[in-house]
Amino acid sequence: MSKILIIEDEESIAELEKDYLELSGFDVIVCNTGEVGLKTALEEEIDLIILDIMLPVMDGFEICKKVREKKDIPIILVSAKKEDIDKIRGFGIGADDYITKPFSPSELVARVKAHLARYERLVGSKEAANEVYEIRGIKIDRTSRRVFVNGEEKAFTTKEFDLLYFLAKNPNRVFTKEEIFSNIWDLESVGDIATVTVHIKKIREKIEFNPSKPQYIETIWGIGYRFKI
């Protein structure tokens, strides 16, 4: 069940919105101040926010911006003034929609449903688009950080995965050990370019049919390595 957060200082309006949304099957939380509303928006699992602009102390614009820094859930602003509409349109504050008072509760419910459906499609398409590289029997799934060799999953350490992914996403390009080291290991880490050699050896043992005659990660003598496709 989708959870809707209403941030609205006028309690009668908040109750009306809540009743209609609950009748439509939503879980509803009401906050009557901006401060509590913002805290709830950031800490709870909320699917959509209905946010009044005119709130004492912290207004809806400020809350909208702060929520946007952390979450991309739909936000519908509620406005009582025409000037607000110009601001919503002109300032890029990150709201998905707005509705002006007075509005019919059924219109609000319709907007909520539309935005939730659009957001679910968006999130769904993000999940579907796993970043996967497939090269001659090797499958590198960046999203889940898993590696398969001819359909069989191989266990990779974090750095081994990062290294393999780095080379595979830049195929046929030769990297020196220094370049690889500076790309994969952060500056604070203890180690030197010999670490690269050790990791390449371990990766080859996992992905190559014959590690002494590598088909994927080639050694370019005197320079470094490249991922061959």
Select the residue interacting with Ca ion from 16, 36, 42, 54 (CB under 5 A). 54
Minimum CB separation from Ca ion for residue 55, in Å? 6
Say how far apart CA 216 and CA 201 lie, in whole Å.
12
Residue with tokens 């929609």: 97
Which residues, 154 to 193, sit near Ca ion by CB under 5 A?
none
Select the residue interacting with Ca ion from 2, 3, 9, 16 (CB under 5 A). 9
Contact 109, 20 (CB under 8 A): yes
Nearer to Ca ion, 56 or 171 (CB): 56
Minimum CB separation from Ca ion for residue 149, in Å? 60
Nearer to Ca ion, 87 or 146 (CB): 87
Q: Establish if 52 lies at the interface with Ca ion (CB under 5 A).
A: yes
Contact 184, 163 (CB under 8 A): yes
Minimum CB separation from Ca ion for residue 9, in Å? 5
Q: At what angle do helices 105-128 and 11-23 cross, to 10 degrees?
A: 60
Minimum CB separation from Ca ion for residue 189, in Å? 52
Q: Which residues contact 124 (CB under 8 A, 6 or more apart)?
A: none
Say how far apart CA 54 and CA 83 lie, in whole Å.
12
For residue 102, is the peptide bond before it cis, meaning its omega torsion is within 30 degrees of 0?
A: yes
* Residue nearest Ca ion (C-beta atom): 54
Question: Pairing mode, if any, of strands 217-220 and 224-227?
Answer: antiparallel
Binding window for Ca ion (CB under 5 A); candidates: 34-42, 50-58, 63-71, 85-93? 50-58
Size of the site for Ca ion (CB under 5 A): 3
Nearer to Ca ion, 9 or 179 (CB): 9
Say how far apart CA 63 and CA 52 lie, in whole Å.
10
Nearer to Ca ion, 54 or 116 (CB): 54
Contact 207, 136 (CB under 8 A): no
Nearer to Ca ion, 9 or 208 (CB): 9
Nearer to Ca ion, 9 or 35 (CB): 9
Binding window for Ca ion (CB under 5 A); candidates: 1-9, 108-116, 186-194, 216-224? 1-9
Number of other CB atoms surrounding residue 68 within 10 Å = 15
